[in-house]
Amino acid sequence: MASHRKSRPTGSRVAGIRTPALATAALTSVALLSQSANAAPEADDRPSLEEVEKKVDDLYRQAGSATEKYNGAKEKTAKQRKRVDTLLDDVAQRTQKLNEAREELGTFAAAQYRTGASAPDTATFLLADTPQDYFDQTQLMDRMTGRQKVAVDDYITQQSETMEKRQEAAESLETLTESQGDLKTAKATVQRKLADARELLSKLTAEEKARLAAIEKEKQQEAARKAAELARQQAEQQKEQEEEAAQQQDSGSSSAGSSAGSSSSSTAPDSSYATKADKALAFARAQIGKPYVWGATGPGSYDCSGLTQAAWKAAGVTLPRTTYDQVNAGTTVPLADAQPGDLVFFYDDVTHVGIYIGNGMMIHAPKPGTYVREESIYYDGESSIHSVVRPA
């Protein structure tokens, strides 16, 4: 009897199982989806260009902070080393004098022993490092001549002073060791932060580096716009002050008007400051193009506080080494009243400084990989400006 079963078409479903052709296609799709799923987290884990930029900027800022700590530790170490050297020289000289006094006492003791004026052990105690207890417990001092007594008193005094100086030198050496440790730690921190920044930048593609440069250019354009706005405001303020002064002169009421205008002119520098500022700025301009090197104070390279210190030194004004100390080495003035030569400090931790040249611009040594240059004081945004200080 003939079979009435119909043949199944190729590719149809049998008991929930696909034919080999459809199964292969399905497996391929699953594999592709799996690869996409695995690749997605890698793409999500990759930081955006803006995040990379922020991270690099933060690392450079941290390196700047560590640089100022390094500068402070270096200065402290140098001073402490000089103090230790001075103390050690003093101890050496005192020890020499102490030895000479001991020899003189030995001569007296030997003479007394030969004449029988004292017991044989007198010489031993006179030549000892600490004969004071022996002198207090015997009648030896009563048997000495005036010259001998003076020699003994001198020896005891010198011995006490020498011991004090030795202790002071030991304490200074301990402080020096601590300063050297701080110096080493700060140096390692700077190097680590800079290495981290270089590593981040090295991972950027050529396209990303181009985009990063474009972002930086936009920031510079905005900074230049803000600098121009500050220059306009300062020019208007200066014009108002000049008009007010002219009106006071014309009305003949300068004495009455001086008090009214004192608030606007209270931060105006005198002519002697302008003369010094001109010298400082002339020096700073001559350094433009020299590389930033952390910890450097010139003449071939500078860090930020090294440049401002050297510039004002050329004007005859001594500034401290670090930004932390420079910010307190003068009079704080409002940003609107900033004058050429003033120091502009940045960030809440006061880790960067530039020298103001007017019109919202400054000369500064920005960061590793850059050179001393003129730039807007808004180079890192208005919020980054900490204060303005007039150093002289």
Pair 248, 323: CB distance under 8 Å: no
Quickly tell me which residue has 């010139």 as its tokens.
298
Active site residue 364: yes
Q: Specify the 3-state DSSP secondary structure of 73.
A: helix
Quickly tell me which residue has 């390279």 as its tokens.
301
Active site residue 352: yes
From 123, 197, 304, 310, the catalytic residue: 304
Tokens of 363: 């000369």
From 352, 367, 386, 390, the catalytic residue: 352
How far, in Å, CA of 69 to CA of 294, rounded? Answer: 11
Tokens of 38: 């695995």
How far, in Å, CA of 284 to CA of 343, rounded? Answer: 12
Pair 137, 45: CB distance under 8 Å: no
How far, in Å, CA of 242 to CA of 265, rounded? Answer: 10
61: Cα separation from own chain's centroid: 11
Q: Specify the 3-state DSSP secondary structure of 34.
A: helix
From 187, 276, 321, 364, the catalytic residue: 364
Residues designated as active site: 304, 352, 364
